[in-house]
Amino acid sequence: MPRVLLLIFMLLGVAGTALAQTSAAPTDDAGQTTMASPDGEGRPSESVAPGVSKEEALRTSLAKFKSRDFDVKAEAIETIARSGHERGEALLQALLDRELLHDLAGDRIVLGEQADGGWALRDPISEEDVGRAEARAARPVIINNRLRQQIRDLKSVTALANPNPLNRREAARRLVGNTDPVVLDALRARQAEEANPLVKGVIDTALNIAVLRDPASHLNERLNAIDAVAGSLEPAVRNVLRDRLAQSDAAAERNAAERALSKIDQRTERYETADTLFFGLSLGSVLLLAAIGLAITFGVMGVINMAHGELIMLGAYTTFVVQQIFPDGHEWSLLVALPAAFLVSALVGIVIERGVIRFLYGRPLETLLATFGVSLILQQAVRVIFSPLNRSVVTPEWMSGALEINPIFSLTYNRLYIIVFALIVFFALQLVLKKTRLGLQVRAVSQNRGTARAMGIRSERVNALTFGLGSGIAGIAGVALAQLTNVGPNLGQAYIIDSFMVVVFGGVGNLWGTLTAAFSLGIANKIIEPMAGAVLAKIMVLVFIILFIQRKPRGLFPQRGRAAEE
């Protein structure tokens, strides 16, 4: 069934009526015609009975979408593709985009767009305005995964002629492993004229797999095909080689398959290591972001701030609010959210310091309890203001998806940006501490409060500003974390333990220690996780830290000198 379908859809493309890509080179058209015409000519006209116009046939097919039965809908998709009507492809695309509606009141299939809480309806063929419907009085025609796949396969075949090589490559990749003769004919036709080496490579792989899957192919052909695909990382290649290894009668072929597989396995292993490393770095960067603010307030100032997680949460909520203020600015609103989150969290931090912590310096237990109370207050405040439900933060387009390096190794953009971002924040903070007046004062006060005051430093003010700085950085971390996880009242709780873990492990008061600790814990976690599972990995890391702290109570990089004596 899908075979016939594909054939017909291609013919459609040949006729040029449905092909939106008018800029395709004329040679493409010629190539496809010679390829498709011998066995499929005349079929579109067959389906249109004499006396019935194409448009009526199309309307009859469309009416089938009122059915709840997916088989009926699959048939309708097929007849629409076969109809030869110029609206065919656009209508299938509309079906995919949920723009094809069943208007319940008029019991008809129409095109529709959401407008003022209802639907603006258009005729599917003439595209004329045909009125509107209430939100629940019309609903998109439901398709399932099978139908979606059906439409996409149809599109992939036509997209092989797309002028953009990236689209062609994508289309070819979707067809790798497909052994439908019609698809293979299309791939062969494309292979002959494809100039782009990347696209050609994918098409070659697809055709070589087809050779290996074809029971009628000659041994020599198969051996050549195995040689050709030996370096490919496409999962379909591995699968076909495994099948050949298990099924082939010829020893030469089995040997070739085995060699090719071991070559593939070697490469796969290398990329798996790289994968683990990337995951570890990315988890490490999240830990670093969460912990770095704490490294200031706890590490440098010695305040056990249990409300640190909630300061991160405030940053995440600031991101949400900024996106609400600029509903159309999803692509750039993060840039506004960063300073806004810094300010909000820093202000809250300063209020906490002025209101609670300054009365408790040198009394760690009381500080712990008081800030824990503050964290609960902040959580519940957020619940009252924003509701206990999670808020949706939109991920900008440039942070979605993945940078695909090869079929088995890709780096997700959001993680990539967050690694870079964490490092920027880290070095910016180093700069502030090392090169600015505030940094100098902070270091002075943290090393010896009495002497610093005697030198004329207003230690109260420095305390407030330092705490504000640490809190503000927590807010910035919140902006980044909002891209990875839930923005909800519990966001902070999830990170407070991890943050303390990183700071203590790295050595209190040492920013480089925090950096090293974050990345080494992240990578360790990701190395253990595939072997032991996520639950056990976390436990093992915690046990390791407990043992480590027993041996070296001051962490990886203990502070030396006078400051450490206190």
- Positions touching another protein (CB under 8 A) are 70, 98, 104, 117, 136, 139-140, 142, 144-146, 148-149, 152, 235-236, 238-239, 242-243, 275-276, 279, 282-283, 286, 321, 324, 379-380, 383-392, 394-395, 400-402, 404, 408, 410, 412-415, 484-490, 493-494, 526, 529-530, 533-535, 538
Rounded Cα distance, 189 and 7, in Å = 13
Nearer to another protein among residue 447 and residue 493 (C-beta)? 493
Nearer to another protein among residue 147 and residue 452 (C-beta)? 147
3-state helix, strand, coil in the chain (%, to 5): 70, 5, 25
The torsion angles phi and psi of 88, rounded to 5 degrees, stand at -50, -55
Nearer to another protein among residue 36 and residue 236 (C-beta)? 236
Nearer to another protein among residue 24 and residue 101 (C-beta)? 101
- Residue 62: CB atoms within 10 Å: 23
Nearer to another protein among residue 469 and residue 523 (C-beta)? 523
Nearer to another protein among residue 150 and residue 158 (C-beta)? 150
Amino acid at 255: N
Three-state DSSP class for residue 327:
coil
Rounded Cα distance, 176 and 184, in Å = 10
CB 479 within 8 A of CB 459: no
- For residue 465, give both structure tokens: 């500003």
Nearer to another protein among residue 200 and residue 415 (C-beta)? 415
Nearer to another protein among residue 279 and residue 467 (C-beta)? 279
Provide the minimum distance between the beta carbon of 493 and another protein in the complex, in angstroms, as a whole number. 8
CB 370 within 8 A of CB 357: yes
Provide the minimum distance between the beta carbon of 182 and another protein in the complex, in angstroms, as a whole number. 20
DSSP 396: P
Provide the minimum distance between the beta carbon of 561 and another protein in the complex, in angstroms, as a whole number. 37
Provide the minimum distance between the beta carbon of 4 and another protein in the complex, in angstroms, as a whole number. 21
Rounded Cα distance, 392 and 403, in Å = 24
Provide the minimum distance between the beta carbon of 560 and another protein in the complex, in angstroms, as a whole number. 34
Provide the minimum distance between the beta carbon of 525 and another protein in the complex, in angstroms, as a whole number. 8
- What DSSP element (H or E) covers 414? helix 413-435
Provide the minimum distance between the beta carbon of 412 and another protein in the complex, in angstroms, as a whole number. 4
Q: Which residues pair with residue 133 across a beta bridge?
A: 119
Provide the minimum distance between the beta carbon of 39 and another protein in the complex, in angstroms, as a whole number. 28
CB < 8 Å & 24+ apart, contacts of 57-66: 57/83, 57/85, 58/83, 58/85, 58/87, 58/88, 58/91, 58/125, 59/124, 59/125, 62/91, 62/100, 62/109, 62/124, 63/108, 63/109, 65/95, 65/100, 65/102, 65/109, 65/141, 66/102, 66/107, 66/109
Provide the minimum distance between the beta carbon of 231 and another protein in the complex, in angstroms, as a whole number. 17
Nearer to another protein among residue 63 and residue 408 (C-beta)? 408
Nearer to another protein among residue 98 and residue 552 (C-beta)? 98
Rounded Cα distance, 121 and 90, in Å = 16
CB 253 within 8 A of CB 217: no
- Residue 257: CB atoms within 10 Å: 25
How many whole angstroms from its chain centre is CA 58?
Answer: 38
Provide the minimum distance between the beta carbon of 220 and another protein in the complex, in angstroms, as a whole number. 25
